[in-house]
Amino acid sequence: MDGTYTSSPRTANYIGGRWIGEPDTMPAINPATGDVIAQLPKSSRDTAALAVAAAKAAAPGWAATPVFKRAEMCVAIGAAIDVARDHIARILSAEQGKVFSEAYGEVSKAADGFRLAAELVKQMGGQTLPTEDPTKLVMTIRQPRGVYGVITPWNFPVNIPVEYLAPGIATGNAIVWVPAPSTSLVACALMEVIEKAGLPAGVINLVIGEGATAGDAIVIHPDVAAIGFTGSAATGKRIAERGAGKPLLLELGGNGPVVVFEDADLDAAAAAAAGGAFFNAGQVCAATGRVLAHHSIVDSLCEKLTAHAAEHVLGDPSHQGTTMGPLNNAKVAAKVKEHVDDAIASGAKVLYGGKQRSDLGSDLFFEPTVIRDVTREMRINREETFGPVVPVIAFQDEAEALDLALDSEYGLSVGVFTGDITRGIEMARAIPAGIVNVNGGSTYWEIHLPFGGGTGTKSGIGRLGGMHTMEAMTELKMITVTIDRKGA
């Protein structure tokens, strides 16, 4: 472990540069054992309002800080995360349930996120625009929006917050961050590292508590100018209603199909589909929600998927050799079980796994699972399962494949495997998702690329990633100057 940090971080809110406790508390729980690993604040609406006030006080000074100074701060935070990588990853693994290698990778990406924001903000310009009126000089500049509310989920509780925090502070906003309750200890760890890197007081404020209380208080607060939210479609809709009128970035759920045609490289398709279903125990918005397979290759594909599932060792992520940890919380575990039970009761066939494994230490363990003979009506096809499950649906022809892909409320990320690149591009054009990967799995992601839900779906509004986030988190202001020497 890195010597700079003790094994347990501060367990308090971080408001206006001070760590502040709360009378009401809630436990941080290790999902693999059920052990309580810390007591965290369960913040009231009043505490959330204090954080907004601290951000509001810090906002003008931070906005006026030269861009290159803000960029330097982001570089310093990235370096501080590098130093603390092992420490943060251990807490992330213990509290979220993901294996250490995945946790370590996530923290590394978070450091990269701050460095990327530092690079991009120095390149972020406005424009000068041509005009009909010869006396006008018209230019655009980008300004921070002010106080940004950021509400984040528990599946990537370090990297997803950084997707907002890094571009948010690089572009000069002050932030109030409300992390998911079940991964708030690692939020404290990240906040502590950011503090030690020297971020001025009030620029990022951490408020720990229930989303419906602390999160909602931020959403409706008149001094919070804009909201960035990653989470479920249901909560996203509520936030859009409660925060009506504010600029919103909403990254919501998915149920991405991976479509596998008869001419595809089946080994590559199976590896990508299984990887996308089992990484982070399937708790990924862009996970392989379902596999749509041509009837002629479905047997062979199922065999390969089953072999991938069988390679996993389910268990406590702190144990040597574990490749898949528990689900993070009881709500997601109940949904995964319900979806699998519903599929079995409706005639689907489990090829591998399919069961909750309470014998491994807690009720949150669920076996890597492959299910075939899934049909359109089953919940596992229609809803986002968010667990380590690959449901396989056979299709007869391209038209049916497209119809199955289109028959979804979600439209986040899709994979299409085919040897016919024209067919791949046609599918990509036809499916109303934010991302379609031809000959790639649904989870393909890089920090600078545009990530988000397709219009008309429940998967969100806007794009996260690189310059897209920087633009979304700033105001585009037009300034015009009249240049008229008449009378001069």
CA–CA separation, 94 and 295 (whole Å)? 42
* Count, residues near ligand NAD per rule CB under 6 A: 28
Q: What are phi and psi of 189, to 5 degrees?
A: -60, -45
Our CB check for ligand NAD shows the closer of 322 and 442 to be: 442
Task: State the minimum distance, in angstroms, from the CB of residue 243 to ligand NAD.
Answer: 9
Catalytic entry in 285, 367, 383, 384:
285
User: Could you say which of 41, 146, 253, 441 contacts ligand NAD (CB under 6 A)?
Assistant: 253
CA–CA separation, 208 and 215 (whole Å)? 9
Per-residue contact string for residues 196-235; x = within reach of ligand NAD by CB under 6 A: ---------------xx--xx--x----------xxx--x
Q: CB–CB of 327/281 below 8 Å? A: yes
Our CB check for ligand NAD shows the closer of 9 and 462 to be: 462
Task: State the minimum distance, in angstroms, from the CB of residue 359 to ligand NAD.
Answer: 26
Across 219-271, the runs of DSSP E, i.e. the strands, are 226-230, 248-251, 257-260
Residue 251 binds ligand NAD (CB under 6 A): yes
Residues 6+ apart with CB under 8 A from 358: 365
- Interactions with ligand NAD, residue window 399-428 (CB under 6 A): 412
Residue 153 binds ligand NAD (CB under 6 A): yes
- Interactions with ligand NAD, residue window 268-287 (CB under 6 A): 285
Residue type, 466: G
Q: Of 19-27, 128-136, 153-161, 470-478, which part binds ligand NAD (CB under 6 A)?
A: 153-161
CA–CA separation, 377 and 375 (whole Å)? 6
- Interactions with ligand NAD, residue window 316-375 (CB under 6 A): none
Residue 186 binds ligand NAD (CB under 6 A): no
Closest CA to 350 of 342, 358, 361: 342
Our CB check for ligand NAD shows the closer of 148 and 386 to be: 386
Task: State the minimum distance, in angstroms, from the CB of residue 46 to ligand NAD.
Answer: 16
Q: Where are the alpha helices (DSSP H) in 418-472?
A: 421-430, 466-472
Our CB check for ligand NAD shows the closer of 22 and 251 to be: 251
Task: State the minimum distance, in angstroms, from the CB of residue 470 to ligand NAD.
Answer: 17
Query: What proportions of the chain, in percent to the nearest 5, are helix, strand and coil?
Result: 40, 20, 40
Catalytic residue status for 106:
no
Structure tokens at 363: 């009720």
Task: State the minimum distance, in angstroms, from the CB of residue 399 to ligand NAD.
Answer: 29
Q: Coil, helix or strand for 332?
A: helix
Check residue 176 and give left, alpha or beta (phi > 0: left; psi -120 to 50: alpha). beta
User: If you ran DSSP here, which 8-state letter would residue 132 be given?
Assistant: S
Closest CA to 147 of 207, 193, 189, 196: 207
Residues 6+ apart with CB under 8 A from 388: 277, 278, 281, 282, 312, 324, 336, 353, 366, 367, 368, 369
Q: Coil, helix or strand for 347?
A: coil
User: Could you say which of 180, 193, 266, 292 contacts ligand NAD (CB under 6 A)?
Assistant: 180
Catalytic residue status for 102:
no
Q: Of 7-15, 97-105, 145-153, 435-443, which part binds ligand NAD (CB under 6 A)?
A: 145-153
Residue 164 binds ligand NAD (CB under 6 A): no
Residue 155 binds ligand NAD (CB under 6 A): yes
Task: State the minimum distance, in angstroms, from the CB of residue 61 to ligand NAD.
Answer: 28
Query: Could you give the maximum distance between any two Cα atoms of the chain, in Å?
Result: 89
User: Could you say which of 252, 258, 270, 274 contacts ligand NAD (CB under 6 A)?
Assistant: 252
Our CB check for ligand NAD shows the closer of 41 and 215 to be: 215
Task: State the minimum distance, in angstroms, from the CB of residue 48 to ligand NAD.
Answer: 10
Active-site residue numbers? 251, 285
Q: Contact residues for ligand NAD (CB under 6 A)? A: 151-155, 160, 180-181, 211-212, 215-216, 219, 230-232, 235, 238-239, 251-254, 285, 384, 386, 412, 460
